[in-house]
Amino acid sequence: MKTLRLLFAPLSLLSAFAIGLSCPWLNAYRAAVPYLVMGMLFLVFLQLNWNQLRIRASVFAIVAANLAIPLTFYFIFSALNQPVLAIGAFMAGIAPTGSAAPSVISFLKQNIEYGVTAFVMTTFTVAIAIPLILPHLLPEAADKGFLELFLPIAQRVGFLIFIPVGVSLIIRWIAPSSKNRFPKAYRMISFLLWVCCITIMLSGASNTIWNELDASQRWFVPLCFLTALCVCVTNFTLGHFLSKEFPRESSQTLGQKNIAVTVALAMEFCEPMVAIVPLMYILCHNSWNSWQMIRLSLKEEREAREN
C-alpha cells in the first residue's frame, strides 16, 4: 500500500498521457484548459506561504535563464529556417516554474523554500515578459503593429495569471484562515486539475496529429519531440550549475514548467503545430519527475528493509 501511495502521482500522470494521446475527441473540451490553469494557480497562491520566499542570487540566475534559453532556441531554429520549431521551442522554454515544483522538491527531500521562491519570481516575470516578447516573434509581426498583437496577448496572460492570483489574495485578506483550512484537499484538487489539464492538452496534440495533418506532415512530430527534449535537457542540466548550494533545487525549478500557461497561449495565437512542442515537453519533464520519484521510493524501501 505504501508503494502504491508513493506511485500515485507518477501513475496518474502516465494515465493522463495514455488517455490524452489515445482520445483525440477530448480536444472538444479545450476551452476548459484556461479555467483549469486558473484554478490551479488560485489554489497554489491561496495556500502559498509567503514567508518561505528567500531571495538568492541563483534564483535571479534562474529567472534570467528562463528568458535566455527559449530565446536562444528560437534564434537557432530560425537560423535553420524552422519557424514552427522556433516558436514551439520558445513556448516550451518560456513557461514559468511549475506550480507543483515545490511539492516535487519536498518529495525529493530538498529545500522547498527555494522552489517556492523560484515559482513566484518566474511566474510574475514571465507574465510580464511574454506580452512584450511574443509579438516580435510571431509570423504576423511583419504585417501587424506591436500594439495590435501585444494587447490581446497581455489580456490573455492577465486573465490566466493575475486574476487567480488577485482573487486568492482577496480571499486571504477577507478570510485569513482559508489558506490553512483544507491543505490536503487543496493539494489533491490542484493535482487533479493538472491531470485533467494534461489529458485535454495531449488530446489536442493527438487531434492535431491525426485529424489536422496529412500523412506527409506527420514526420514532423518526432522533430517536435526532439526539440522539446533538447529544451528540457538544457533546462535541467543548466539549472544544476546555476546554484552551488542548491543544485538539485535549481535544476528542478528551471526544468519543471507550468506548460499549461504557454500551451493555452499557443493554442490561441499560434498555428496548431506550434503547440505540439510544449505539449511534448510535458512528456519529457514529467517522465523525468516520475523517474526521480520512483527511484527515491525504491531507494527508501530498500534502505528500510536493510535496517
pLDDT of residue 250: 93
Give domain status of residue 25, yes or no.
Answer: no
For the chain, what is the largest distance between any 2 Cα atoms, rounded to a whole number of angstroms? 68
Round the average pLDDT of the chain to a whole number and report it. 85
Give domain status of residue 174, yes or no.
Answer: yes
Name the residue with higher pLDDT: 109 or 251.
251
Rounded to whole angstroms, the Cα distance separating 174 from 191 reads: 25
Give domain status of residue 20, yes or no.
Answer: no
Give domain status of residue 139, yes or no.
Answer: yes
Tell me: the pLDDT tens digits for 173-183? Answer: 888 777 666 66
Name the residue with higher pLDDT: 73 or 185.
73
**Does residue 270 have a pLDDT over 90?**
no
pLDDT of residue 79: 96
Name the residue with higher pLDDT: 268 or 13.
268
pLDDT class of 30 with cuts at 50, 70, 90? confident
Residue 181: which CATH number? Answer: 1.20.1530.20
**The three three-digit cell numbers of residue 20, written as one number:** 490524452
Give domain status of residue 51, yes or no.
Answer: yes
Tell me: the pLDDT tens digits for 284-306? Answer: 888 888 777 777 767 766 766 76
Give domain status of residue 302, yes or no.
Answer: no
Determine contact, residues 234/62, Cβ cutoff 8 Å. no
Tell me: the pLDDT tens digits for 41-51? Answer: 888 888 777 77
| Cα first-last separation, the chain | 20
Query: In the predicted model, what is the mean pLDDT of residues 6-13?
Result: 69
Q: Secondary structure of the chain in the HEC alphabet?
A: CHHHHHCHHHHHHHHHHHHHHHCHHHHHHHHHHHHHHHHHHHHHHHCCCHHHCCCCHHHHHHHHHHHHHHHHHHHHHHHCCCHHHHHHHHHHHHCCECCCHHHHHHHCCCCHHHHHHHHHHHHHHHHHHHHHHHHHHCHHHHCCCHHHHHHHHHHHHHHHHHHHHHHHHHHHHHCHHHHHCCHHHHHHHHHHHHHHHHHHHHHHHHHHHHHHCCCCCCCHHHHHHHHHHHHHHHHHHHHHCCCCCCHHHHHHHHHCECHHHHHHHHHHHCCHHHHHHHHHHHHHHHHHHHHHHHHHHHHHHHHHHHC
Give domain status of residue 250, yes or no.
Answer: yes
Rounded to whole angstroms, the Cα distance separating 267 from 269 reads: 6
The model carries a pTM of: 0.87
Task: Please tell me the total count of domains within the chain.
Answer: 1
pLDDT of residue 55: 86
**The three three-digit cell numbers of residue 181, written as one number:** 483550512
Neighbouring C-beta atoms of residue 95, cutoff 10 Å: 29
Name the residue with higher pLDDT: 88 or 276.
88
Among 98-102, 122-126, 183-187, 241-245, whose mean pLDDT is lowest? 183-187
Measured at the CA of 90, the angle between CA 84 and CA 96, to 5 degrees, comes to 145
pLDDT of residue 183: 67
pLDDT of residue 61: 95
Measured at the CA of 299, the angle between CA 295 and CA 302, to 5 degrees, comes to 140
Query: In the predicted model, what is the mean pLDDT of residues 75-100?
Result: 93
Domain range spanning residue 265? 31-294
Give domain status of residue 67, yes or no.
Answer: yes
In the chain, the percentage of residues whose pLDDT exceeds 90 is 34
pLDDT of residue 135: 92
pLDDT of residue 304: 66
Name the residue with higher pLDDT: 218 or 203.
203
Determine contact, residues 20/197, Cβ cutoff 8 Å. no
Tell me: the pLDDT tens digits for 117-169? Answer: 899 999 999 999 999 999 999 888 767 878 888 999 999 999 989 999 999 88
pLDDT class of 215 with cuts at 50, 70, 90? low
